[in-house]
Amino acid sequence: MSAAKQRGANAIRAWAFLDTESAPAADCVAFQYFENGGIRFNDGPQGLERLDALIAAAEEFGLALILSLVNYWQDFGGMSMYLRWLGLSGDVTAFYSSPEARRAYRTWVAHVLTRRNTITGRLYAEEPAILAWELANEPRCQIPGGREILLDWTAEMAALVKRLDPVHLLALGDEGFFYRKGSGHLYDGTYGVDFEAVLALEEIDFGTYHFYPQQWGLSGNLEFAEQWIVDHIAAGKRANKPVVLEEYGLKIDGCRVNSALERHRWLHRWREIVQQMDGGGTLVWMLGCDAPDTSGYCDSYTI
């Protein structure tokens, strides 16, 4: 947080989830786990008190938090963990359609949003350091009818969040894929995400979009970032809502990005485009640290 603040950041996006298969060992941290036939919350020092501390520290540093409530991916548990807990088979997209999974997620959301911070004494719904909640990190629904399933799930869960916490902002937390015909996999609905339809939901306050050109098959076309940014900001203006480039990154691959300096130039250029277009902001993925307790939490995009 100190490093982010020194570099001019005013917001940090972090996880409000950390799920494990079973009860964690004494020295392991988990927010939720499965035990004796049910999903359990860990409210103690090795559980949600860690999230209490994050929120309190953000307030101390003058940083705003965007907190995501579940992961589409398997990192730190995610939607597939819910399915394993509940004994449900099938693709991870069953998380959206299964009544049991929906119920378990609603229970988690209610537990988090009504939690009282052990450090600040405030309910999470009252915390000034929280800027926004996100329903999920990078949700996708890549099955026939996935767009409608994901939209239905989003509408239901967004309404729940707004009932429990009408104060803070809310986003879906998606990658910003469009649902238009014949325009390539980022635009044609391949991932079951409809950025514009999500943005049109009343309870959704702002849109999110990500950009990983190397991962998305655009290594030779880094300039495409400008079109991607322009399209999202334009969609936000039509909906009269801000949109945030909340994840973006480049690997140093020895091709078009052959050094940390070259990476910096590209990232800086993309931030400039967002600023010039009056976008809602940018959050680079991700800042890292070589301290012993954090050095393992990094990937090839880490700065």
Which position among 127, 134, 246, 247 bears the catalytic label?
Answer: 247
Per-residue burial over 55-88, b = 16 or more CB atoms within 10 Å of its CB, e = otherwise = bbbbbeeebbbbbbbbbbeeebbbbbbbbebbee
Q: Locate the DSSP E strands across 96-240.
A: 130-134, 169-171, 207-211
**DSSP per position, 48-83:** HHHHHHHHHHHHHHT-EEEEE--BSSSTTS-HHHHH
Catalytic, 138? Answer yes
d(CA 148, CA 146): 5
Catalytic, 247? Answer yes
Which position among 127, 134, 138, 246 bears the catalytic label?
Answer: 138
CA atoms within 13 A on the CB side of 54: 20
Burial class (CB in 10 A: 0-12, 13-18, 19+), 25: exposed
**DSSP per position, 221-239:** -TTHHHHHHHHHHHHHHHH
State how beta strands 130-134 and 64-68 pair. Answer: parallel
Distance of CA 235 to the CA centre of its chain: 20
> Among all residues, which ones are annotated catalytic?
138, 247
